[in-house]
Chain A
Amino acid sequence: MKAFTRGLLVRLAGGLVMVWIVATFTFFLVHVLPGKPGDAQYEQFVMEGLEPEVARAKVAAIYGFTSHEPLLDQYGGYLWQLLHGNLGISISYSGVPVSHVIGAALPWTVLPVLSGLLVSFLVGVAAGIVAAVRRSSRWGGLLSLSGSIVAGVPSFVLALLLALVFHTELNLLPFGDTSDVSLEPGFNLPYLGSLVEHAVLPVATYALLSYGGWLLAMKSSVVSVLGDDFILASELRGITPRTRMRYIGRNAILPLFTVLALSLGFMFGGAILIEDIFDYPGLGNLLLQSIGQRDYPLMSGAFLLITVAIVLANILAELCYSVIDPRVRR
């Protein structure tokens, strides 16, 4: 237990260093982007009929949350505020705390990403086992082919295809929101049904995107395990096929746990494109919007959150791995 705690602390310390490095990198990265907050807003005001001087002054007022201190001072202040759990004040939201803006968008990325990952993992792993065990049959071949096809499709192509088929052409599934706005939010069937209905397209995209990877990785892992001596020994000892499958599954799934953590990170990154296509109002959409508006605090906050999610997922994966595979603990 002591060793486990010590290991956990070491990993958390390493994670904190990683977060600090990424936070520093993204802080300076977003500040070297060309362009100023409010440039597009100025054009909008002028097009709406404001005199240029008034438009300029108005932009200065509503984007008056931009810091004009030297960059290193801003960085020091940013880190100091970060230590106090404060992500800063949004520029494009005229002074609304970044944590509030991110908090409003975050659930709409986490829920679909996790759902998509879970669905694809379960379906992909099960299909991978079948594809490996029945690899000589037509079904095994078809399963492997399906995995190869969806693994090769770029995320935005898949998302556009699903949007075209299920929304534009068939008008079966909605997009552009998280639920029907006319429904009272709460633990009631119409609202929950609407939540599911609106999440189907992004979740299906996330699931399909990673399903192929899980299937092929699991198939390869199972095929590898099938050749191990302990499988031959278990057959010779007359252990039932069901128990043998449990042995195969447990051993074959081990390498996939590390990939699971990494996938979480990739999916958070992929959320940017997918949310944009489905107009799903999550963190990815927010990040795109904040980049366009040069909202430095919001960009830094969103990047930081994605970093923290990936670091934590990696730590969790390592801990799970040591629990699942006793050999790692030795």
Chain B
Amino acid sequence: MIASLATLGALSACSSATGSGAGGAVYTTIDGNNPITVGAPMNPFNASTNTFLGYDTMQLAFSKKNPSDPNDAFPGLAKSWTITPTGITVELQPDAKWSDGTPVTVADVKTSLAIALTQGNATVGAGFLSQGLAVAKVTPVGEHGVRIDQVAGADNLNFGRLVLGQNIVSDKVYGGLLPTDIWETIAASESADTAVAQAAVTKLTTTGKAVSAFAPKADVSAGPFVITRINPGSVVLDRNPHFYDAAKIAPKQVVIRHYTGNEQIWSYMTNGELDSAPYTAIPNNVLTQILGAGYTRKDSVNSVDAAIAFNQSVAPYNLTAVRQALAYVIDRQAVTKVGEPVGGVANKYNTGLIDTAAKTWLSPDQLSALNPYAPDAAKAASLLEGAGFKKADGKWLMPDGKPWTITLQTVNGFSDWIAASTIVANELSDFGIPTKPAITADFATYKKEMAAGKYAVGWWLTALGPQTSKGYQRYYGADDGYTATGATATHSDGGGNWQHGPTQYTLSGATLDPGQLTARLATLDLVAQKPIVQQLAQVSNQEVPLIQIWDYTNVQFTSDKRFTNFPKQGEDAILNNPPGVWMMQGFVKKK
């Protein structure tokens, strides 16, 4: 039966002109952040959108994710821009047009920013001002210029970057969804009168819902491509002849394929079906197959780190000596080799930042003064004994004489964490702390149970960047009970986080409040941030609120089978953007 069905399939395959690669100018890929979603609209504001950043969804600019300059970006619909403390002036691409032939105008930018403020950037009062996209007004400047002013007093350093990173949609398509008094409503949402502000926010939220549920009949794109057809499992985008830089775009067509799991992406690659592919956790044998199929691996910095976190409200994890001891026991190199052999680099400094960022912010002397927590069972034992722990029959007992066991929590879907947990458990068990990994069914449950304080030790994503304020959020920010209002933070240890750490640390004899320092990071320029980052890095290394195991690497694969001139290893700024942006910047040429 299977043979006959396969024959039927093979025959039908002969009768169907397979599109991939037809004419040699079809670029096939997968959008790692955005699998095709059956029945979803072509609307970038929908949670399950079937639109694709860098292909048919455009921004004014595309961030280079430069940790030293957050405003550094590749031009998009903005040809150039000037950021000032009060706002940003953008010069639009003079030839920018939508796929229906109409020019991109100030009205499109204004509508898009108003929509952005209905999509969750609007909250009442000071919280709104602290969040960045506090747009006061949008005004035309000359023939192609737009001035976007920040609300007086907002003073958000990231305002310009946030404006540049918003999705720009056609006013002709989306403008009708906004009430005529949208900007008055936005202004009212910042009113000092809480009732007025609340009514305005409610109205904005209602508008936001209408916008996100909207399903345009056809794709209207200002990007290099425009959606021609959506299948349940793939999308075909044709080159947009009206794109302002159409001559740079080599593929006449892009096919973006759906995926539900890593295995499908591996399979497409081993068959050579993709021209570029995003990173997925890959075992070494599959990596060998993929490289054998003609793919080139491109690594770039990824500002995410996998760490083991502690609930410090649970003994003995409230003791710094215990956390330090565990850091000495866990061999991060060995764990990374099993957990993330391809997409991870063992973390060296344990500063709360990825190592690449730590090297940027700390001086060589400061780096060398950090404790590397190289595997050292003797040091670990000494720390534990100093804290009142005793060893009997090869097992460590807690100061109260009770046996010490660890359940290391991880979550289904994170195959790297699950694999790494086995090694960590073996290392800790061998050291005398019986440890067993436990897997939560899915991420929603993991978050729910974390919030309930159910886990004492478990895996967590940290060092999110590239901005340092984000990097330390997981340590001393919202995730650890702090609420920032401008440059100040209030702390409420109400659960919903891993750490429950103290609000004061002593570093080199000086007392510091890590939450306050983290809150200030968002309001300071890079020069002013430096001493604060250095303090936070040093105290994180000293106190070990989390043990950073590996820094993720942004691994991508490209194949020269049909196209050449891909971004190269080391060109992190471009590699950290979608292939549509590569093409806009002149990369990717037909073979």
Contacts and interface: CB of A to CB of B under 8 A. Distances in A.
Interface string B465-488: 111011001000111000010000
B258 interface: yes
Given A95-B213, A103-B39, A281-B233, A51 B132 contact: yes
Interface of B: 1-2, 5-6, 8-20, 22, 26, 33, 36-41, 45-48, 63, 65, 118-123, 127, 130-133, 205, 208-210, 212-213, 215, 229-236, 253, 255, 257-261, 264, 267-268, 270-271, 304, 442-449, 461, 464-467, 469-470, 473, 477-479, 484, 522
27 contacts: A39-B447, A46-B470, A46-B473, A49-B464, A49-B465, A52-B470, A53-B130, A58-B121, A61-B212, A93-B37, A101-B38, A101-B39, A101-B40, A168-B270, A172-B6, A174-B13, A176-B233, A177-B234, A177-B258, A181-B231, A181-B235, A182-B26, A183-B16, A197-B12, A281-B232, A288-B260, A289-B37
Interface stretch (A78-86, A203-211, A303-311): A203-211
Contacts, number: 273
Given A51-B470, A58-B120, A96-B41, A179 B1 contact: no
Contacts of A44: 33
Contacts of B130: 53
A177 B231 contact: yes
B235 A197 contact: no
Nearest to B122: A57
Given A36-B444, A92-B48, A52 B477 contact: yes
Given A176-B233, A182-B19, A197-B9, A292 B444 contact: yes
Contacts of B122: 57
A87 B11 CA distance: 41
B5 A204 contact: yes
A23 B26 CA distance: 46
Given A61-B212, A108-B38, 8 more contacts: A52-B477, A60-B120, A65-B209, A92-B47, A96-B213, A101-B40, A173-B10, A183-B19
Interface stretch (A4-12, A188-196, A255-263): A188-196
A318 interface: no
A35 interface: yes
B48 A93 contact: yes
Contacts of B447: 35-36, 39-40, 42-43
A163 B267 contact: yes
Contact of A176 (B9, B17, B259, B444): B259
A39 B267 contact: no
Given A176-B234, A197-B12, A204 B448 contact: no
A223 interface: no
Interface of A: 33-44, 46-49, 51-54, 56-65, 89, 92-96, 100-105, 108, 119, 123, 162-163, 166-168, 171-183, 185, 189-194, 196-197, 200-201, 203-204, 207-208, 211, 276, 279-281, 285-286, 288-289, 291-294
Contacts of B13: 172-174, 193-194, 197
A36 B445 CA distance: 8
The 5 lowest CB-CB distance pairs between A and B, nearest first, are: A182-B19, A35-B444, A95-B213, A177-B233, A104-B39
A136 B161 CA distance: 80
A200 B9 contact: yes
Main secondary structure of the interface of A (DSSP, over half): helix
Contact of B258 (A52, A105, A190, A279): A279
Contact of B257 (A177, A200, A292): A177
Contact of B39 (A61, A96, A207, A276): A96
Given A43-B461, A49-B470, A54-B120, A171 B271 contact: yes
B131 A48 contact: no
B2 A167 contact: no
A54 to B, nearest CB: 5
Contacts of B127: 53
A34 B445 contact: yes
Nearest to B479: A52
Contacts of B235: 181
B12 A40 contact: no
Contacts of A61: 118-120, 205, 208-209, 212
A49 B63 contact: yes
A108 B40 CA distance: 16
Contacts of A102: 39
B6 A176 contact: no
Contacts of B119: 58, 61-62
B552 to A, nearest CB: 10
A94 B120 contact: no
A51 B131 contact: yes
Given A93-B48, A94-B48, A100-B39, A204 B1 contact: yes
Contacts of B446: 35
Contact of B16 (A59, A60, A194): A194
Contacts of A59: 120
Q: Which of B2, B65, B442 has the most CB of A within 10 A?
A: B2
Contacts of B123: 53, 57
Contacts of B484: 53
Contacts of A191: 16
A48 to B, nearest CB: 7
B118 to A, nearest CB: 7
B287 to A, nearest CB: 15
